[in-house]
Every structure is written in structure tokens, then in C-alpha cells.
Structure 1
Amino acid sequence: MVAQDLKKFTTPIFPFTAIVGQEEMKLALQLNVIDPKIGGVMIMGDRGTGKSTTIRAIADLLPEIEVIKDDPFNSHKSDLDLMGNDVKNAIERGETLETALIKIPMVDLPLGATEDRVCGTIDIEKALTEGIKAFEPGLLAKANRGILYVDEVNLLDDHLVDILLDSAASGWNTVEREGISIRHPARFVLVGSGNPEEGELRPQLLDRFGMHAEIRTVKDPVLRVKVVEERTSFDQTPLLWLQNYEVQQQELRDKIVAAQKLLSSVELDYNLRIKISEVCSLLDVDGLRGDIVTNRAAKAHAAYDGRDKVTINDIEKIITLCLRHRLRKDPLESIDSGDKVSKVFKEVFEIED
């Protein structure tokens, strides 16, 4: 069967560039894809606002990646931080490894997942009887170099959220059983989504997400009708839709790839860094994670716009996304945390409303 025929059997995914509104969520996802070290994004919002659709759409938009063929960790052919031990050993032995192009992995973490399913398991019996480390990879192995999506992350067991955040931050997953230890690369963009009505995430876990996007149900009736009509039209003729948006999809894909290449040469002036830290200090943000993420996101935003120097405008666009979930909650305060970040930013950077 030719590849063209196989395409007919794959479920069409709504084009990212066709999604109406939800700019905060779209920007946060694109910046995390440009620089995964931002630390993922938490998307909080009402049910039925297109969270899952948007996340699947960004994974589908991204260009294919080159991996070592039949490797469970989607190992990179030359980057040591992105390859499993077997591949490292084979390269040291001077073996020639076959590579293949695959779509960016998009892994859904089911709510009822166990730790073994997430991290992988070691077959102790095989290890003892045959003297080999028999490792059964889990979802973290599958997500290496891709996107790991956790819907209803606020309902997930805290222990599992901790494991996910640790792996996302370090880029590695370690599994230990009965004195046997296996370590493999697990560098992915962690995307969590949830509905605030179903409970908040613990502050110390929330703080570990790089960015926090809030999405609301569209109130404008004209826009609502447009969203409904577009979705209905896509469901009826998906292939025609994908053709119509192919040029826009390719333009955005090229823009993201160009930004990834430019990122390492983007500069952020010292005086701007001082002001970012001043905003964090005035907002009483615990730790330095807020400063680090804001710096990273500002650079990613400049690269996204094709510039090698960060401007105040870049910082303004991303600072609320990076800091709003790090503020201490004061039940008596009436001002929204996003507005509070914006207000302090304008004071420090001396921007008039």
C-alpha cells in the first residue's frame, strides 16, 4: 500500500492556523516548541474551549524529526542528551545506524495511568536469570523529543505530576527496581490542561510549569457562530480544509523552524534582565524560576519574530503568561493575578496605559 493511500486512513487533524481566538494558548504552545526548556504550559479554562484540539494541532503542524530506526526512545543521531544508552554504545563501537523520519510524538497520558505505565518497568526475573537489563519503556520514553499532554492534570495523582515535572525539567527519566537502575532521555514539552472548577493544582506543582495560559469561552455570538461553522465544515470535508490551509501551515512551520535556529543567538540586555527581576521581586514571586522562565520566553518570542534582540514589547507579550501562576493567592484581593502582573510590569518599565 502506498503512503498516499495510508494518508486516507489517518484521522485528519484540525489545522493549527485555522483555530479562531485563544491567542494566549496558541502563543504559549508555540514558544514552548521553539524552546522546550521554558518548561511546558498549563492551560486552564472552561470545558469545550478547544484545548485538546489546539494541542493536537500544534503537534501535527511541526516538521518531522529524524530518529534512530526502531529505537524506543526516538534517539537523536548525534545529540548525546537525546539518545538512549544502546545507541550511545553502538556509536562508540563505530556502527552505522539507520535513521527514519517520524512525526513529532504526541503522547496522551490517561488519567488512570500507573507509575509503571508512565516510567516503564524492569523485568527483574529476566535481569536475574539472563543477566540483562530487560526494560519495558513507558510513556516518558515514547514522549522523548515530542509533546506529552495531560488532560485534567489537576485530577492526576500528585506523585505522578511530580514525576512528569521532574522528567520535563531534567530531560531524563530514571527507573529503579530492586537495586537495578535504568536511565533514559525524556525531553518533551509538557502540556497540562484542566478546568479550575474541578480544583486547583497545588502551588508547588503549578510553579513548576513554565507558562500558564487561561482560556475563556467566547462571548461574542458572531465569533461563536464562526467557530461552530468552521468545525462543522471541517468535519464534513476535512481533506479540502487541509488543502486550503496548507500554505498558512507551511509558513508557520517555517517560522517556528527559523526561530529554533535563531534562538541561541538572541540577546537580552542587562538592564531589561534587571527590570524583569524587579517585577518578580515586587510581585513577591518565590524562588528564581519566574525570572529564568521570563528571560527564556522573551528570547523565544524575539526569535519567533525573527529578531536577535529582545525588546520591551517581547517581554510585555509573555510576562503575564510566565508569572501569573506564581503569585501568592490572597483570598481578600479582588484584582486578577494576570492584571496584577500587567500593572507592576507597566510601573517598572514605565509604560503608560
Structure 2
Amino acid sequence: MACASLDLPAQALESASHKADLLLTQTRNLSSRARGYNQRVISESDALAEEVVGVSRALKRDLQAARVALQSDDRWEEVVNQLERAQGVLHGNGPAGDLRRYAKTRQPYVLSLLLGPSSNVVALRKDQSQQMKVDYHRFRNRSAYTMFAFAAVLQWGLRRTQALSESRDGVSMAPVLLVGVQLFVCWMLFYYVASALRESVLKLNGSHIRPWWIHHHYWAAGTSCLLLSLPVDSPTFRKAINGFLWWPMLQSVVILTQNRYQRRRMYTRIALGKNSTMDVVAGDGVGAHGQLVFLYPLLFLLQGLQVYLGGVMIKHSYWAMLRTEGYLNLENRDDDLWGNRGFFLAGCLMIFMAWNNFYNTVGSLVGLVAKKSKGGRRVTASVEDDD
């Protein structure tokens, strides 16, 4: 019995040693397979990148030449159509998505600044890139509801505070609400930075987003930083922030409207091969009857409100920019120069963003009408040829 009990630990040790040898061999084989896989992926990726660059250059050259020839000879129309379809496949209308992501592309500035120039955010697996798009749309939806609710509560609270202050009846809760305004501006800063990052990543993965709609988030984030630097006890701040809150409320309505109209229309256009599977809801949209009737007026209304608010800020605070105090020495506390100067700069930024939003929205609308008109002319020409 004693010998048997002594043999058990020896057998357990031998079994454990055998399993350890097997696991060591298995992990070494797995590491060798992974190394071979990485080498194949790198080799194939380099070959794909070189071919994509070559095809892209050839398409651009031939399409430009064909369009020039089409101006003098209608027989070139079929060649142009074929080249445009080939360009659509290259840009994401094919089964593999946007092929340009396989080429060595330069990172957007914001990604290089925050993540480093060597970071790689391109997802080669289609399911991963699609999930990025789904997460982006969820982020927009959640942010729109948060933006509207936050701004509406602050708007109501500030109006109630003003009424109580004038009547001198009850507790106004003004300090708490002003802290809430600062928290809201912090959240807006987060929203614009996160939107810029997400849209930059999506653009690298094949989404067709106009550069301005990403740059707009940079300027909006800068405006949020400027508002955060203003003193909350400034009379100008308390007077101007009440009107400013209307802008994020209307912006949230526009975002929800975009999601309602554009996402439904986009699924149809993706199925027809007119949009890439990575295209997302953005400022320029995808064109639909509901969008033209309801969304574009809302966009123009939002831009008009931006101009109005910016003009009001400039009108009531431009005088502070003409004063010499506070530039090289400390300002008088009662003058509220920094508050007025901050809102003057914020007003200039609002008008600058509104003008660029308007310019790009009109450009998108003109491009949409031109594309429909071009498609209609081609359909008419093909019917006449059949007759």
C-alpha cells in the first residue's frame, strides 16, 4: 500500500510533464502558422495596394479623356458609363467595399494628432467595418436625444430663473443652472471631438463624407472650448446663453430627421449599387423626396439660426474689441470685457460655420439635381435609340 501511494505522485508528475510538452509543441506550431499567415497577409496586402493605385490612376486618366471626347461625340457615352461603373466599384459599390482602403492612405490630421502617425484604423474585415457604421448611427441617435433633452431643460430652467429674479420670489437656482450650462458645453465638446474621430475613421474605411462635415466638428469643438473659457458670472454670458441653447435643440431635430429619411433611402441606394455599403448619414445626405421637402428646409433653418445668433453676439459685443483695456493688462472686473470678447469671437465662428454649411448644402443639392438631370437625359437618349 505504501509503494502504491508513492507511485501516484510520480504518475501525476509524468502526466503533467507530458501535457506540458504537448502544449509547448502546440504553441510553437501555432506561432509558426501565425507568422506564415502574417507574411501572406502582408505580401497580399502590398500587392493589392499596388494594383489599386494603378487601377485608380488608369481610371482617372481614361475617364477624364472619355468625358472630353463625349463633348464632341455622343458615341463615347457608353464608354463613359462603363468607366463610371468601374469607378463606382473601386469606390465601394462592389462586394469587397471601398478598394481604396487597401492602398497606403495618409491618416487624417486629427487621428495622427491624437493616435500618432503610425496608427492603423482600417478594418479589412467587412463585418468589422459595418459594425463601425452601425455604432456611428447609434451614437448619433443617442447624442441627438441627449442634446435636445439637456438643452431644453437648461432653457426652461434659465427662463424660470430669470422670471424669479425679476419678481424676487423664491429660490432661482441660478448657480446650479450655470454649472449645468458648463457641463452641457463640456458634453458638446465631447460630442464634436467624438464625431470628428468616428467620421475620420469611417472615411478611411470607405465612407463618402465631404471633408467640410468633418472640419465643421473641429470648428464646433473650438467654439465649445471658447465658451468654456468664459466666466459664468458674466452678465453677457447669462444673457447670451439662453438664446444660444436654441441652436443645439434645433440641431438635434435635424440629426434625428437625417437619420429617419437618409438611412431608409440609403439602404435602397446601396441595394441598387448607387451608394457604398460604408456610406453613412451625413450633412449632404443621399437624396430623397422627403429629404427635399422636409430635411433641406430644416438644414437651411438651422443655418439661418446660426447666422442670426452669431449676428446678435457680434452686435452686442463688438464694442469690447475696440477697447484697449484687457489686452496687455488686467481688465476692470465690472467692464466684463472678456465675456463680451469671447462672445464676439463665438459669433464670428457661428457665422463662419453657417456659411460653410450653407455652401456645402447648396453644393450637395446642385449635385443631386445635376445627377438626376444627367440620368434623365441618358434614359431619354437610350429610349430614342431603341425607337
Q: TM-score, normalised by structure 1?
A: 0.24
Structure with bigger RCO (C-alpha 8 Å, 6+ apart): 1
Q: TM-score, normalised by structure 2?
A: 0.22
Decide which structure has greater helix share. 2
Decide which structure has greater strand share. 1
Larger Rg: 2
